Chain A
Amino acid sequence: MKKVLHGLAALSFLFAGSTAFAQEATHAANHEAEPTHFPIKAPREQSWSFAGPFGTYDKAQLQRGLKVYKEVCSACHSMHLVPFRMLEELGYNEAQVKAFAAEYTVQDGPNDDGEMFDRPGKPSDYFPSPFPNDQAAAAANGGAAPPDMSLLAKARGVTRGFPQFVVDIFTQYAEGGPDYIYSLLTGYDQTPPEGMEIAEGTHYNPYFINGKSLAMAPPLSDGQVTYDDGSPQTVDQYAHDIAAFLMWAAEPHMEERKQTGFSVMTFLLLFGVLVYLTKRKVWSNVEH
């Protein structure tokens, strides 16, 4: 029996060693010029106001992000799950939201004559999509429809790998989406390694999750969007703001969730202590 155990131990060592070696080999195989695993570079982690157990959205940042979306992204990307009325959560009052919605034209109908008609947007309307349907969106963008942005910040997440994914539980890392969006938007200035072929009409970006290059051209440039709160008008700032805005668009109830969580955790902790003391008392008279 002891022999079996020794054999087993040796085998497991051998196995652990060989797997470590094999892993190295896999990484080496991820050739610089012709990588097979994407993204080529892991997203750069940023510090976000909404991270952590007491995180809250920075309303000024969300307002700037909305401006970036409206003036830049919305030319191609829809956001069809977000209604104008929700913008009140960004710190706008009812009149401002009404005015914002009215800038858009929305098709309504049919009216009593059976005709469809255009009218100014109302707070209950959703952000209109730039294209009438997915096919039109794809046709206008070289065959691939730009993704809807309502959930983008939750729909993108780069695998964290072991042991990082264990650490993430304790650090409450839930900002993979905004980190990815920020990294992608600021990752266009890098030059591809020598020998790498970039398909025509696509743009190299080592942070892109699905390949070495993507169809979207660098969407942001310095000074493109005018901020009236004195924030720097740089690509880096725009990228931060739009990423934060998209996180809000994807998870509008996050603040409420974390605040409720604090009450629930406090209650469970206190209740747990009381029940534990009760349990000690009840069991104190029996050996177990």
Chain B
Amino acid sequence: MSGGHSTYTPKTGIERWIDARMPLPRLVYDSFVAFPVPRNLNYAYTFGGILAIMLVVQIITGVVLVMHYASDTSLAFVSVEKIMRDVNWGWLLRYMHANGASFFFIAVYLHIFRGLYYGSYKAPRELLWILGCIIYLLMMATGFMGYVLPWGQMSGWGATVITGFFTAIPLVGTWLQQLLLGGFSVDNPTLTHFFSLHYLLPFVIAGVVVLHVWALHVVGQTNPTGIEIKSKTDTLPFTPYATVKDAFGMIVFLAVFAYFIFYIPNYLGHPDNYTQFNSLKTPAHIVPEWYFLPFYAILRAITFNIGPIDSKLGGVLAMFGAIAVLFFVPWLDTSKVRSAVYRPWYKLFFWIFGINAVFLGWLGSKPAEGWYIPAMQASTLYYFAFFLVIMPLLGLFETPKQLPNSITEAVLAKNKGAHAHPAGATAAPETKG
């Protein structure tokens, strides 16, 4: 791995026998025991492992839920309630799965922001980043289709609105929408289509995750300094160092997850989804799940026609563009320096971007009226400007801070500073990263 040769030595006869035929133990040893990780990784780097856990949680709870679920419009809603009321631990399974989707997205957003902050997408990690974007896209499709399955009011109306986007595409739009729906409107074929795909896509995600981890193990992890590993002193073996640190990060994350499951399980959901879908009764405000809200705001920000593009198509293009632009980030960022730690201006614009993204999410939950519309437009403008203007230009104009020569040098310099304030160093050891 990482270009280095394997240090695995089989100890017993059985291990030697297996190693000569199918060296799976060697692969595991090299990837999760001996794999060298930068010694200065902080807790922002634990979200990859957390995401792996969330995927497993979703697949396991999902597989059991399917044993009790009925994908038929006349039964779906009631079957979910049967799970909640009559299936042993059914309420736990369903609340884990529903909140699990949200926490999967919380983790992926933090993971993406970590990548943006430390410049993790820069060469030679472009493919690693793009594979991540593909996983994110697949997650969105899976999340959306999963939300339709309980067949509540927001399930049906959310599906109506989101599949309606496709009609904005010229020529093939209507055909595409009807292909997705399996008819002219959201009905039984829609439910069966989405159920089938919702079961399929997580396994596709798992496949792309394997590629993502493979690519990671070829190029190695980045680190807060953004400097590549230069010598052995820059790294530590994955086990026990990263294993135990990841484990702690995961437990903290799971504790927050458990808090939501057991105490406020419906906080992240919409009350309307506890009313069965009725295609004749439109809810007052149709809103998607919270993790789509920033994109929902971008969609509705385009209230004007641009030449031959009407506002509807414009909105759909802006929304998909907001995701598509992520794929080009490795080439939009022209800076030679990777990490925001050494880029004062980038750091500023990054945090504004973060706040702006949260604000967009809040706007997404609001109706498109009054001052919300100009706010959505201003926020959308900044969203795109960050990627298309700030990223390319900043690399040319910004003067980065002095970079340390190596990870080891950065760590030693930092700890020398910390020794001057020993009280602070012991009070917050986790921030030493």
Contacts and interface: CB of A to CB of B under 8 A. Distances in A.
Contacts of B370: 22, 25-26, 29
B92 A257 contact: yes
A261 B85 contact: no
B371 A19 contact: yes
B188 interface: no
B4 interface: no
A26 B371 contact: yes
Contact-residue size bin, chain B (C-beta under 8 Å from the other chain):
35 or more
B165 interface: no
Nearest to B262: A261
A278 interface: yes
B259 A265 contact: yes
B241 A23 contact: no
A81 B78 contact: yes
A154 B267 CA distance: 11
A213 to B, nearest CB: 15
A15 interface: yes
B254 interface: yes
Tell me the interface secondary structure of chain A in the complex: helix
A260 interface: yes
B240 interface: yes
A188 to B, nearest CB: 22
A1 B390 CA distance: 12
Contact-residue size bin, chain A (C-beta under 8 Å from the other chain):
35 or more
Contact of A19 (B258, B375, B397, B411): B375
A150 interface: yes
Given A18-B371, A272-B248, A276-B248, A286 B263 contact: no
A269 B90 CA distance: 25
Interface stretch (A102-110, A167-175, A214-222, A226-234): A167-175
Contacts of A19: 371, 375
Interface stretch (A56-64, A92-100, A155-163, A195-203): A155-163
A15 B378 contact: yes
A242 interface: no
28 contacts: A8-B352, A15-B378, A25-B370, A26-B371, A81-B78, A150-B81, A151-B81, A154-B271, A154-B274, A155-B271, A168-B267, A172-B263, A176-B271, A177-B271, A210-B284, A252-B85, A253-B84, A257-B95, A261-B258, A261-B262, A262-B262, A265-B262, A269-B255, A272-B251, A279-B244, A283-B245, A286-B241, A288-B39
A45 to B, nearest CB: 16
